[in-house]
């Protein structure tokens, strides 16, 4: 069950929510609107070697994710 990050287009509230296949579409917890934008978010992977190792792209600016098309090719804001 993944956790997704959303931004409400109506009021600007940013929030996270657990999304299940059987769940209804999420709504904004502030204004209860349904005009949501799913945000691109980083994630952590644990290999057991070190819990503090994070990939460089997880906190870098746009264009540093290593997309083979080059900076800005991923088309995410």
Whether 77 maps to a domain, the answer reads no
- The reported pTM is 0.52
The tens digit of pLDDT for each residue in 9-55 reads: 999 999 998 888 888 889 999 999 999 998 877 666 667 665 455 45
Structural domains counted in the chain: 1
Cβ neighbours of residue 5 under 8 Å, at least 6 residues apart?
A: 14, 15, 16, 38, 39, 41
- For residues 7 and 14, the answer to whether their CB atoms sit within 8 Å is yes
Per the document, the length of the chain is 77
Q: How many CB atoms lie within 10 A of CB 36?
A: 19
Domain containing 4: what range?
Answer: 1-42+52-63
Whether 25 maps to a domain, the answer reads yes
Whether 22 maps to a domain, the answer reads yes
Whether 30 maps to a domain, the answer reads yes
Whether 35 maps to a domain, the answer reads yes
């Amino acid at each position: 069950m993944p956790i997704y990050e959303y931004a409400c287009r109506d009021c600007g509230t940013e929030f996270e929510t657990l999304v299940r296949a059987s769940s209804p579409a999420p709504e904004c917890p502030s204004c209860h609107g349904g005009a949501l934008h799913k945000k691109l978010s980083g994630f952590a992977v644990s290999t057991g070697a070190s819990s503090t190792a994070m990939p460089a792209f997880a906190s870098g600016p746009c264009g540093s994710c290593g997309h083979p098309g080059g900076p800005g090719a991923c088309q995410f804001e």
